[in-house]
Amino acid sequence: MEPQLLIDQDLCIQCGACVDDCPFHIIALNPEYPELLPQRVHHCIRCQHCLAVCPTGALSIFGCDPHQSLPLPQSFPDPQQMTALIKGRRSVRHYRPEPLDAEVIETMLRTVANAPTGKNNGGCLFTVLEDRATMDQFRAETMAGLRQAVVEKRLSADLSYFRHVVSAWDNGRDIIFRDAPHLLIVSAPPTNSTPDADIIIAMSYFELLAASMGIGTLWNAMVKWAFSVISEDMYARLEIPSDHIKGYAMLFGTPAVTYHRTVQRDSAAINRIRLGPQGNKG
Ligand SMILES: Cc1cc2nc3c(=O)[nH]c(=O)nc-3n(C[C@H](O)[C@H](O)[C@H](O)COP(=O)(O)O)c2cc1C
């Protein structure tokens, strides 16, 4: 989509912030007010930095009204809140059965769509299992597929624990899906510059946003591994395009467990580098 720049000349103070922050230099003051440079406009990566950086809300691009944006920075959580969120989010393995409101899920995913992607040249696809019946059917199909792999002795040594997963399922325990009401799989087209990273970033943002809303999540490698055992057709069942790079699955829903404090895993491996005469490696 070609960018369209609209300037409210009553608000524009001609500060040039939009010109300076545009990563591909497609805007110039011409001579007083910002304008797109026709010879550079095709470089636009639709990042909307021009809209975000304008101090007076004078600039609209792609038809976006700057007054519909959240005001910054006062809308940010403070560092203490962010620290509590990062340290306090947990992998939730116990869920209440009731599903979340579909509108809540959609609003969350629209927010997560703001996460960075490599060159802003394509978003991720968010595939969500939205209701209980779909989850139940999908769970049953996955377990049936795994059972078949066990019977046909198709499990490699490193995935042999799926035998235990199937027998736990027969005893009423769901080790893979943890009885969660929802499943999210994020995928991205290979035409994105950095699809693998885009997916993981989007999922990480989803996890943190969910935690801030009291919604539990569980990153789930087991679903991905189960699909690799059963068949890639499992993604087709979920209408995920076959050429997409697929991320991990993530379970989510209302937690049936409460954590009263953070864990204490603060020992980060930090490789401190200071080059030069004052540094320890100079
Ligand atoms: C990529 C990834 C895949 C994971 N897969 C699973 C999984 O399949 N099943 C599971 O119970 N936990 C899974 N986890 C959760 C980890 O076991 C969990 O993060 C770890 O035990 C630490 O617990 P915490 O997240 O509550 O801090 C996964 C985590 C990540 C990051």
Query: Which residue is it, tokens 């995913």?
Result: 109
For residue 282, is pLDDT > 50? no
Position in ligand 1 atom list of the atom nearest CA 92: 26
Overall fold of domain 81-253: NADH Oxidase (3.40.109)
Distance of CA 87 from the midpoint of ligand 1 (Å): 14
Q: Compute the distance from residue 234 Cα to the ligand 1 centre, in Å.
A: 22
pLDDT digits (tens, 9 = 90+) for 42-99: 999 999 999 999 999 999 999 999 999 999 988 899 999 999 999 999 999 999 999 9
> Mutate which of 92, 219, 260 to test ligand 1's pocket (most atoms within 8 Å of Cβ)?
219
Check pocket membership of 218 for ligand 1, CB cut-off 6 A.
yes
Q: Using alpha carbons, select from 226, 220, 235, 232 the residue that is nearest to residue 163.
A: 226
Shortest-distance Cα residue to atom 18 of ligand 1: 91
CB of residue 62 inside a 6 A radius of ligand 1:
no
3-class SS of residue 107 = helix
Query: For 102-155, how does the pLDDT look when each residue is reduced to its tens digit (9 = 90+)?
Result: 999 999 999 999 999 998 887 999 999 999 999 999 999 999 999 999 999 999
Helical spans, DSSP H, in 89-129: 102-112
Is pLDDT above 70 for 256? yes
Looking at residues 156-175, what average pLDDT do you find? Answer: 96
Instruction: Check: CB of residue 258 under 8 Å from CB of residue 211.
Output: no
| Cβ-defined contacts of 213-216 (< 8 Å, 24+) | 213/104, 213/108, 214/254, 214/255, 215/100, 215/108, 215/252, 215/253, 215/254, 215/255, 216/90, 216/92, 216/95, 216/180, 216/252, 216/253, 216/254, 216/255, 216/257
- Ligand 1, atom nearest to 178 Cα: 11
The pLDDT value recorded for residue 1 is 74
Q: Where along the chain do the CATH 3.30.70.20 domains lie?
A: 5-68
By alpha-carbon position, which residue is closest to atom 23 of ligand 1?
91
**Could you identify the atom of ligand 1 that is nearest to the CA of residue 248?**
1
Going by CA atoms, what residue is nearest to atom 25 of ligand 1?
A: 91
Task: For the chain, give the mean pLDDT.
Answer: 95
Which of the four CATH numbers 3.20.20.10, 3.40.190.10, 3.40.50.300, 3.30.70.20 does domain 5-68 have? 3.30.70.20
- The residue whose CA is least distant from atom 7 of ligand 1 is 220
Instruction: Indicate whether residue 251 lines ligand 1 (CB < 6 A).
Output: no
Q: Is the CB of 40 within 6 Å of ligand 1?
A: no
Average of per-residue pLDDT across 202-208: 98
- Distance separating the N- and C-terminal Cα atoms of the chain: 49
Compute, in angstroms, the gap from residue 33 CA to the centroid of ligand 1.
51
pLDDT at 279: 63
